[in-house]
Structure 1
C-alpha cells in the first residue's frame, strides 16, 4: 500500500469533478460533526442526497437548511462550524474545490489536535479517509455509498476519542 501524502490528496482534489468535490468537503464535515453536534448527522442527509443526485439547486437549499439547523458553536468546534458556514451555495467546480480544500485542511487540523502529541494516528487515518473518499467519489453516484461509509466510520472514531477524553478528564 502506498503512503498517503498531502500532495497526493491535493492532486486528487485538483482532478475532481463537482460531485466528488462536494462529497469530499461534506465527508470532512460529516466526520468532524461529532465535535459540533454529536447527534447532528441526520441534518446532513439532505445534503448527501443532493450530492448523490448532482442537483445544484437541492444542494444550495440543503446546505442553507443545515447551516440554520446545526448549533452555533460548541466548545472546541470552531473549525467544524467554519466548514459548514463556508459551504458554497453554488454547485460549481471552483467554489466547491476551494471548499473541499478548506474542509480537508480543517479536518486534518482537528484530527492532529486530538492526537496526543501532534500529528499521529488520528491525523494519518483522516488523511487516508480523505483520499479514499475522493477515489470513491470519482466513480460517480455508485462511489458515494462508499464515501458515506468512510465518513460514518471516521465520525465513530472521532466520537470515541472525544468520549474517552471526557471520561479521563
Structure 2
C-alpha cells in the first residue's frame, strides 16, 4: 500500500497543493486545498492508496513559494512522475521546456512535440496533465492568444501568464 505526502501553501491566487511520492517526485499539483481530488488525477498505476499531510514538502514547497514570488526558474528542476503513453509522456517533457513569458499555441505545441498535425492530441496532453505548474500547461494558448481551457480556471491561467510576462 503506497502513501503520498502532500502539503498546501497559500499563494496570491489561492491555495496550492502538491502530492509527492516516496522518492520526492510530484505526482499531482494544482491550485486547490483538496488533496483527494488531486489524488484522483494520478494515473492508476501511480496513484497512492493513502495521503499523509505534511507542513512542508521541503524543496518543493520552497519552489512553489519562490515561483509565485517571481523566481520563475524555481520550478524547472522539480522532479515529476506521471504515467501514460509515449506521446503524452514526451509532450509533458516538451511542456517543461516552454520558456516562462513565451507561451506557445496548441498548434505550435503539437509541432514541437513532433506531431504537427496532432493539435487535439497536444490539447489532450494539457488536459491530462496532473502536475500543474511543474509541467506548465498554462503556457499553451489558442491561436490568436485566447486562453483556451485550464483545470484550475481561466483567472488562474491569466494570472500565471501575466506573472511570467512581468517577471521574465
More helix by share: 1
**TM-score with structure 1 setting the length:** 0.30
More strand by share: 2
Higher relative contact order (CA 8 A, sep 6+): 1
